[in-house]
Amino acid sequence: MDYPTFFNRDCKFRPGRTARRGKRRRLAVVAGALALTGGLGVALLPGTGEAFREPARPGTLLERPLPLPGAVAGKPVAGRPSPGRAAAAPPAVSTSDGRLPARRAGGGPSPAVRRRLALTVRPGDSLARLLARQGIGARTVHALVHSGPEARRLRRLRPGDRIELALGRDGTVLALRYPLDPERTLVVRREGAGYEARLVTHPLERRQAHASGVIEDSLFTAAQKAGLSERLTMALAGIFGWDIDFALDLRPGDRFTVVYETLHRDGARVGEGPILAAEFVNRGRVFRAVRYTDPEGRTGYYTPEGRSVRRAFLRTPVAFTRISSRFSLRRRHPVLNRFRAHRGVDYAAPHGTPVKATGEGRVVFRGRKGGYGKVVMIRHGARYVTVYAHLSRFARGVRPGRRVRQGQVIGYVGATGLATGPHLHYEFRVDGVHRNPLTVRLPPARPVPARYREDFRRRTASLVAALDTLRRIQLARRD
Ligand SMILES: [Zn+2]
């Protein structure tokens, strides 16, 4: 019987490492997470969109002087009682500099605008919560959110986002402005009794920028020194994370070059786009990647020869875990107390942690099987099978015959079958033979299709040339 044994000894990575590596390890976790979501998910990760937004203004709440016509200037702003003798006086809008504009803003929303607020979304904020802090009620929030298909965007605010409000005399919301990215702003205006939403687009100019650095201590420090944003640093780690273990493989003297897109409006830089090309030299080995979108709209990073930088399989099927038992041909079984081969890897993870299919494939088994407990088996092409055991439950739609994507959640960590605690037992079989999932050479993901090779070469030639030039400059500087 070839049932694997379980040996839940705490087997940490390189215990001798010092805390100085913490940053790299954190990056590796991030890189790993990026890898799990797929290399291309990089730009879609929450919290990585800052660079796409307009530069934040200082402070979380701004009150600015507003163009106020004399007709509505008679009453003080709510919350600021006044003796009532201010009929002709300027409105009591609180301003730090005391400027009071005398005229309307050209094209401003409405002459009745009394106050403008710039609010910053906090973690956990919904529009209702954000506006409730300003005393704006649920009925208004409902009307704003239902002001048109574009306004649906108001249902999922991201922390750090800015929302500007124009309020009327009685505190009514007259307009809402929500910059979605440097190219688009959602504008909701009061129209009659309700609101109307529309998306305003700003023409952007795209330029290319580049950054190079040499690693002395950590990738983050070197990237920071090179002027690379944290988002692009993580994107860089995501691109090469399939080949380089950023926690363990980096060495002083390793270097990188990144060509990326910057976004400009009216001559001012308003954000950055994706990495277009990159080079990473790790312990003398040169890795290169260029971004390419094929005529069918699929975007990926490829070597200049057109091979994918990704692998057909993720190295690990769970995020944020520790390895509790490695692949071995001789291990003492904790329950049976006998020596047995352990033909997989155990990942200790909290009960309920999502388990992901490491590669695209077809489910061939889903159910209970002896010591495996609840188990999913996936076939990937003719040669590969992966096994995910001791699950607490299966993900919806995972059934024999169903196709799964790389990174798709197929079940959740549990302790069903012969297990001493919640963990995932993961096996990687090649031609029916168990291989060590931690060290097996993972086959590359699909290359640029043959029919697009010519297009690929034509459209990436200038990027490869840019990498060549930048490398020459970097080497010349070092001498
Ligand atoms: Zn195991």
Q: What pLDDT, in 10s, does the model give residues 357-408? A: 999 999 999 999 999 999 999 999 999 999 999 999 999 999 999 999 999 9
Side chain identity, residue 144: L
Q: Identify the residue with better confidence: 350 or 18.
A: 350
Using the mean position of ligand 1's atoms as its centre, give its distance from the Cα of residue 393 in Å: 17
Instruction: Calculate mean pLDDT across residues 286-296.
Output: 96
Name the 3-class secondary structure at 319: coil
Percent pLDDT > 90 in the chain is 58
Instruction: Calculate mean pLDDT across residues 112-118.
Output: 88
- DSSP annotation of 326 reads -
Q: Using an 8 Å Cβ cutoff, are 27 and 247 in contact?
A: yes
Residue 339 — very low, low, confident or very high, per pLDDT cuts 50/70/90?
low
The per-residue pLDDT for 16 is 33
* pLDDT tens for each residue of 46-64: 333 222 233 333 322 333 3
Instruction: Calculate mean pLDDT across residues 334-347.
Output: 74
Q: Using an 8 Å Cβ cutoff, are 265 and 202 in contact?
A: yes
Q: Is the pLDDT of residue 299 over 90?
A: yes
The per-residue pLDDT for 384 is 96
Instruction: Calculate mean pLDDT across residues 111-134.
Output: 91
Q: Using an 8 Å Cβ cutoff, are 48 and 75 in contact?
A: no
The per-residue pLDDT for 267 is 87
Instruction: Calculate mean pLDDT across residues 457-462.
Output: 97
Using the mean position of ligand 1's atoms as its centre, give its distance from the Cα of residue 8 in Å: 8
Residue 301 — very low, low, confident or very high, per pLDDT cuts 50/70/90?
very high
The per-residue pLDDT for 332 is 61
Using the mean position of ligand 1's atoms as its centre, give its distance from the Cα of residue 333 in Å: 10
Using the mean position of ligand 1's atoms as its centre, give its distance from the Cα of residue 73 in Å: 74
Name the 3-class secondary structure at 432: coil
The per-residue pLDDT for 89 is 35
* pLDDT tens for each residue of 246-267: 877 889 999 999 999 999 988 8
Q: Identify the residue with better confidence: 188 or 74.
A: 188
Using the mean position of ligand 1's atoms as its centre, give its distance from the Cα of residue 332 in Å: 12
The per-residue pLDDT for 331 is 62
Using the mean position of ligand 1's atoms as its centre, give its distance from the Cα of residue 445 in Å: 27
The structural domains of the chain, ordered by start, are 57-67+110-202 (3.10.450.350), 204-310+450-479 (3.10.450.350), 322-435 (2.70.70.10)
Reported as type and span, the H/E element at residue 354 is strand 354-356
The per-residue pLDDT for 399 is 96
Using the mean position of ligand 1's atoms as its centre, give its distance from the Cα of residue 426 in Å: 7
The per-residue pLDDT for 311 is 93
Residue 141 is encoded by which pair of tokens? 């929030």
The per-residue pLDDT for 337 is 58
Using the mean position of ligand 1's atoms as its centre, give its distance from the Cα of residue 188 in Å: 55
Q: Using an 8 Å Cβ cutoff, are 348 and 326 in contact?
A: no
The per-residue pLDDT for 270 is 87
Q: Is 323 exposed, middle or buried (CB count within 10 Å of its CB: 0-12, 13-18, 19+)?
A: middle
Using the mean position of ligand 1's atoms as its centre, give its distance from the Cα of residue 344 in Å: 5
Using the mean position of ligand 1's atoms as its centre, give its distance from the Cα of residue 427 in Å: 8
Q: Identify the residue with better confidence: 244 or 52.
A: 244
Q: What is d(CA 373, CA 392) in angstroms, rounded to the nearest whole number?
A: 9
Using the mean position of ligand 1's atoms as its centre, give its distance from the Cα of residue 337 in Å: 15
Using the mean position of ligand 1's atoms as its centre, give its distance from the Cα of residue 349 in Å: 13
